[in-house]
Structure 1
Amino acid sequence: MTTGPGAGTTVELVKLTKAYGATVAVNAIDLRIAAGSYCCLLGPSGCGKTSTLRMIAGHEDVSTGDLLIGDRVVNDEPPAARGTAMMFQSYALFPHLDCVDNVAFSLKMKGVPVEERRRKAREMLDLVDMGKYAARLPAQLSGGQQQRVALARALITRPGVLLLDEPLSALDPFLRDRMREELKRLHRELGITFIHVTHSQTEAMALADLVVVMNQGRIEQAGPPRELFNRPHTAFVARFIGGHNVIRSADGLRAVRADRVQLGGGDLRTDGTVRALEYHGTSVHLSLDVAGADDFAVIVDEARFYDAPLAIGAPVQIGWNHADAHPLAS
């Protein structure tokens, strides 16, 4: 429940479903997002994450189930009545308006007097470190600067929930890292609920306190990033989160982290052949052909690898400890 202007709001999905004709994009999902949390909806293209975000925003109708924001069922409420704001992937800035008027636009639509709305818009631009560009048009800004303006525009209504649709996907790697830091800072300072759609595991792990992994319209697993990484429930989560090997054995499927696999050591051992290797600075990543695994990766400390380097095609014995083999449900 909202506790004041800009305070975080709980979001709850109860058997929430979205169907487009015979195609079910979101299939009866249950999820509770605590007030003030940073939630990332994570998954491949077509998994249902964007449809879920758009239902929360009110840009898609709910087929069945309930959507609660705070203590209200908002299935039939228009976007403006939900206490949410959405930052679109395309930014959708008005090309003929300067930064101040872009940010102030929603307040203009609400009838806020010009001086008051422009003052509030400048405050928001300062918050995202764009105050000195207030008089510029969108075409005079870089992609990262346009994104900051779009973020300020979303925040000016003091929403209880900020919705972000792939907000970092158009940025180069350096800017992406900078904007991750900026989003974390704003989340911490504003205390509102962030719901962020991404297909990037790195992005979700770096930003969220709740990661929701989706697959084919369902939630495969939801929890804190460290829990998902260390205790994936399914082979899909283990593979999609990355850094894990999924191994078929007589005991069923198991996941072993690539950095827990040892060259020539461990309680459980098997043989493989080096298929590829990549130098990553502090580590070397090996791809192996191993019986019982579709893909097998090993991450080796740089100094240790180059003490006894391996070539592509070389045979290698690998192993891991019993405690590092995590059972998977499927």
Structure 2
Amino acid sequence: MAHKASELELIKLSKRYGQVTAVDAIDLSIPSGSYCCLLGPSGCGKTSTLRMIAGHETASDGDILLGDRNITLLPAAERGTAMMFQSYALFPHLSVLDNVAFSLKMKGVPTAERHGRAQALLERVAMGQYARRKPSELSGGQQQRVALARALITEPRVLLLDEPLSALDPFLRIRMRAELKRWQSELGFSFVHVTHSQEEAMALADQVVVMNAGRIEQVATPHTLFNAPASEFVARFIGGHNVLEAGGQKISVRADRMRLARTAPTEGASVAAQVAAVEYQGTYVLVELAHAAISEFSVVVPEQEFFAAPWQAGESVHVSWASADAHALA
């Protein structure tokens, strides 16, 4: 399948529902051939953004450019995008083959040709042998592959995925995550994937776009996002960070970069706290701490280190960190 890769650009894009602004004049450039995750809590505007790119919602203001075309007002079928829905939205009465071939049927492509192309795509997603089955005879992971094949048959320049893994059990979710990443790499065009799972975004994306209340808080690689969150919201939302005041400024420090001790350290930054709870996580132990001025305070302690001198709830503790591990927040 030959695809012409194209950069996707959103310029001052807004979506209003009556008095409510769901997406607030966002600017975003998604390089061609990249895996982009729109990440944020429910109601942050990520799904509205995806649906405007797809043409399933009309933009209130702004522009959507795909390559050298302004697609803002084009019908969904003429944009060069394809959408893969959370529910997969397969037709229950059609076979897997006819589900995949459906958009070609609507375009008047002859039966033999559309079935040939649909079968080839089913082979590509390891579903060739299930062509004659109905969706109800498939597992969740198999239905997802059919939905992917159906989206790909239109030869999109950008594939849009709306929470595509949320209906799967945790084990299958991790497996399908790896498959999505592989397919994007093989196909070579952009995937734009909406999720509220930080772990999913970190595992999949070249570019993570963190959204909050209709605006973009930060656009970065997963590595940069985790090591240099731009704001308190980002640090708290992606998790694994403690946000606190130190030296007159607000900082974040990764929970795995903090150290616990029973005596106050003689150098470096530290705070006194109390152990609130201890959670064994296998390779590490999560020690949750209580401090009057620091909410959601926890430290990750390697398993071996923890069991050499275990902490108990109620113990007093000194928490320290190296200045190089403190990241200033905007």
Task: Quote the residue 1:319 is aligned against.
Answer: 320
Q: In the aligned structure 2, how far is the partner of 1:317 from the partner of 1:35?
A: 48
> Residue 234 of structure 1 is aligned with which of 209, 222, 231?
231
Task: Quote the residue 1:286 is aligned against.
Answer: 287
Q: Are 1:223 and 2:224 an aligned pair?
A: no
Task: Quote the residue 1:272 is aligned against.
Answer: 273
Deviations 1:39-92 (A, max 9, x none): 000000000000000000000001011111111111110011100000000111
Q: Which amino acid aligns with 1:296?
A: F
Equivalent residue pairs, number: 326
Deviations 1:243-288 (A, max 9, x none): 1000023422100000000112571111111111211111001110
- In the TM superposition, what is the alpha-carbon distance from 1:6 to its structure 2 partner? 2.3
Task: Quote the residue 1:16 is aligned against.
Answer: 13
After the TM superposition, which residues 77-156 of structure 1 pair with which residues of structure 2 at under 5 Å, given as runs?
A: 77-156=74-153
Normalised by the size of structure 2, how large is the TM-score?
Answer: 0.97
Q: In the aligned structure 2, how far is the partner of 1:229 from the partner of 1:267?
A: 23
- In the TM superposition, what is the alpha-carbon distance from 1:292 to its structure 2 partner? 2.7
Q: Which amino acid aligns with 2:217?
A: E
Deviations 1:113-139 (A, max 9, x none): 101111111111111111111111001
Q: In the aligned structure 2, how far is the partner of 1:129 from the partner of 1:181?
A: 14
Q: Are 1:193 and 2:194 an aligned pair?
A: no
> Which stretch shifts more, 291-300 or 27-36?
291-300
Superposition RMSD in Å: 1.1
> Residue 66 of structure 2 is aligned with which of 64, 69, 92?
69
Q: In the aligned structure 2, how far is the partner of 1:38 from the partner of 1:327?
A: 28
Secondary structure of residue in 2 paired with 1:214: strand
Q: In the aligned structure 1, how far is the partner of 2:286 from the partner of 2:206?
A: 28
Contact 1:160 1:192 in 2 (8 A): yes
Q: In the aligned structure 2, how far is the partner of 1:276 from the partner of 1:112?
A: 63
Secondary structure of residue in 2 paired with 1:167: coil
Q: Which amino acid aligns with 2:325?
A: D
After the TM superposition, which residues 167-206 of structure 1 pair with which residues of structure 2 at under 5 Å, given as runs?
A: 167-206=164-203
Task: Quote the residue 2:52 is aligned against.
Answer: 55
Secondary structure of residue in 1 paired with 2:294: coil
Contact 1:7 1:36 in 2 (8 A): no
> Residue 159 of structure 2 is aligned with which of 162, 174, 183?
162
Normalised by the size of structure 1, how large is the TM-score?
Answer: 0.97
**Unaligned ranges ≥5, structure 1:** none
Percent identity, please: 62
